[in-house]
Structure 1
């Protein structure tokens, strides 16, 4: 041990004593949030996540916990005594901050880390959490989804922290690296591009990285007996579809449509915003499809159940594809901005059905208008949706945020004209690429494109309890029968 002067020893003792006093006087750890109107405890203040490195080890049994190491690179935005991370449904084994072991506690669905001392604002931190990731929870609660031969993820809206610790709110997008080890007879695919694969004994480690920032709710890892079907999209875009190996030929008629669907969407709003695209078809039942970034998740039964007509399946494929622009590249600032995601995806879904299957957009919008007051009474207006029912987070995704919000876009096109509307759509996705945007940003841009203030127009359509008159269609009427109120 080096020699210490009396003055230096006294200074160190004083610092240690002050730190001890500070530690003993800190208030009890509590779960925090960034104050989202619909999910107040989601996300955490005080830091900005720059990147995640998620290591997972899968033993071949999809009802047993995976061993995991999640490394989070972040930068503090304010002084922090503790670092709150969203995490639940896993056992934390250890935590380190910048390589030094750190104490931690759990409060509700927060993992609360105590660094060695108070961290000033503007400091880069690397937080490493060794934990388990448990896929054995309730099927409809989100996070891991068990498939017939492995696992996939369905993290929307607030379930990524049931898989890995992080800042689980779309307002904090980051780059992701996935390192997944699994038995060598299985195939692993994740968001982004493959960057390595190495075999060691009976296991193989697969590595993927995203080239664009991503919200936690859009993370995707597929593990199973899968075939990866590759083809080329517009401008040489890599397209890779992931399907159960036994169903590859049966699903090919649907898979081969993707390049043309990509080209159609590019005609509407501009170039595809990411490094690759594809569909992940999983043999599971979730009750929904999901726009996980660069690799949209679909249930196999959508393509194998003869009750679903071809035009309908095509429109669902385009719905999730449209989300890559609206929701993934341009992500909501709060969950109350969800209408910007689902309204646009529903809009292009309906437009595609009109262009390719002769399903008139105007008929669909008139039907939506008829139901609009009912939907608003049940779930709130498009940009001020009611909170999801307790224990039913998926109930946030109501008709008012789908066709009820596409109806807002139809009314806007009626109000400002088709050319201005098309310009607005392209400017929106280009100007907000790889970032977050709010309803107020959309209103501001629409007003600029239209050359007049549209605030009053949007106030009624986005926040009104009753649906405003439809421009150009004074004969349209909306009703809210009393028996329908309260339905979800």
Structure 2
């Protein structure tokens, strides 16, 4: 029999107690925190359901060396697309000090590479969210992406799934957002990030540099450079501001390469139209990464690419054009899932090869004929261009196989042979115009190609993008694919 209080409680007190009891029941009923994902075929636990990020504001405090964790505050503005009792963020390789949701302290726990947040009240669909996470960002274990330690500081290399090893986020390219970076560093250290500078404030012996992006960006394209760098300014087409970030000791040695960038931009604009962002530049890092990376508005390159004598000039130029081309194909028009990666790398390789043909006298047709000979082997090893197989644990960048580079440029070559150069050029321009600042899929590309060609190309794309064997090359019946060796 329930106990009866000796005197009536007020209605307000009763309501408070009932609400608290209900909240306790809900909290008790929640299962243990688990990692979630949006079901990407290659990275099933990447990204998180239930919300759409609008912007990130990331504050970092660089201690003056690249082996001590940075103190950080990440603020995420988002809108809930579903009702949520918990909010999952992708985050690993840092210590979380505290979390707030809409200004109120929230409980949190780690589950694999997710930060699972329990707000004081469930979130309703359509509700605006401001999530603030106070945390560290640790560069010491940077062996599989995220922070890259350079000879004089740090840069980021977040592709494909490593941004959450730097800051809490919804780490999937389908959820693009605006970015602000506020980086505090010693006064003798140079900081540059995506976008354009918004503020520079001195606080004693430290300077806080603020950068903002003018266009939405995928998390994998975020970039912050911290080091003893020189920032070199020049002008690109239509007055575009171009700024390059290089080790200060190398600025004179690297200038002959850097001064080529405005010409590269002009060449790309003749192919596909106006450069899509507010600035561009080359970031040259003193680090051995084994790759270059199209971080938005500030492409990352290894120093060795420009100083090793065995690399001929035409090759270095074409690699620079490859990363620049990504700013149309991959950065502005971003893949909806990682299986759409061929749209990024195939196009960047296509324009790299066209540049090498025009300026390096390396014929595109011969390169594509060689790729055709190897294509069946590439498909056997890693899957067809638009249906790549997942990689083994610990080898996530293994999705960047030859089939998504020359093997996917080969698809574009076949498409041009199928529909003709004029229709192909219209397709390229329409693609980057129609999907600017958004995400797009392989199905979108197939549909647009069919519209421009005036006929259904779904059968063409089914064979070229999903077939186990490489289809016959239109117009080249003499091309043959070598039989792949059995393992």
Equivalent residue for 1:288?
Answer: 291
Equivalent residue for 1:272?
Answer: 275
Equivalent residue for 1:153?
Answer: 156
Equivalent residue for 1:304?
Answer: 307
Distance 2:12 2:428 in 1: 63
Task: Summarize the alignment of residues 21-420 of structure 1 with structure 2, pairs less than 5 Å apart.
Answer: 21-139=25-143, 141-420=144-423
Secondary structure at 2:416 match in 1 = helix
Q: Give the length in aligned residue pairs.
A: 480
Residues 337, 438 of structure 1: 8 Å contact kept: yes
Q: Deviations over 1:25-61 (max 9, x none)?
A: 0111100000000000000000000000000000111
Residues 62, 183 of structure 2: 8 Å contact kept: yes
Equivalent residue for 1:459?
Answer: 462
Distance 1:235 1:158 in 2: 35
Distance 2:186 2:245 in 1: 18
Equivalent residue for 2:3?
Answer: none
1:188 Cα shift? 0.2
1:7 Cα shift? 2.3
Distance 2:232 2:62 in 1: 23
Secondary structure at 1:196 match in 2 = strand
Secondary structure at 1:424 match in 2 = helix
Distance 2:391 2:343 in 1: 18
Distance 2:358 2:476 in 1: 22
Q: TM-score scaled by structure 1?
A: 0.97
1:5 Cα shift? 7.9
Q: TM-score scaled by structure 2?
A: 0.98
1:442 Cα shift? 0.2
Secondary structure at 1:94 match in 2 = strand
Task: Summarize the alignment of residues 466-485 of structure 1 with structure 2, pairs less than 5 Å apart.
Answer: 466-482=469-485
1:9 Cα shift? 2.4
Q: Which runs of 5+ in 1 are unaligned?
A: none
Distance 2:56 2:123 in 1: 20
Secondary structure at 2:275 match in 1 = coil
Q: Deviations over 1:370-393 (max 9, x none)?
A: 000010000000000010221011
1:138 Cα shift? 4.0
1:251 Cα shift? 0.3
> Pairwise CA RMSD of aligned residues?
1.0
Q: Deviations over 1:416-445 (max 9, x none)?
A: 000000000000000000000000000000
Residues 87, 166 of structure 1: 8 Å contact kept: yes
Q: Deviations over 1:54-94 (max 9, x none)?
A: 00000111011000000000100000000000000000000
1:481 Cα shift? 2.7
Distance 2:36 2:78 in 1: 17
Residues 161, 171 of structure 2: 8 Å contact kept: yes
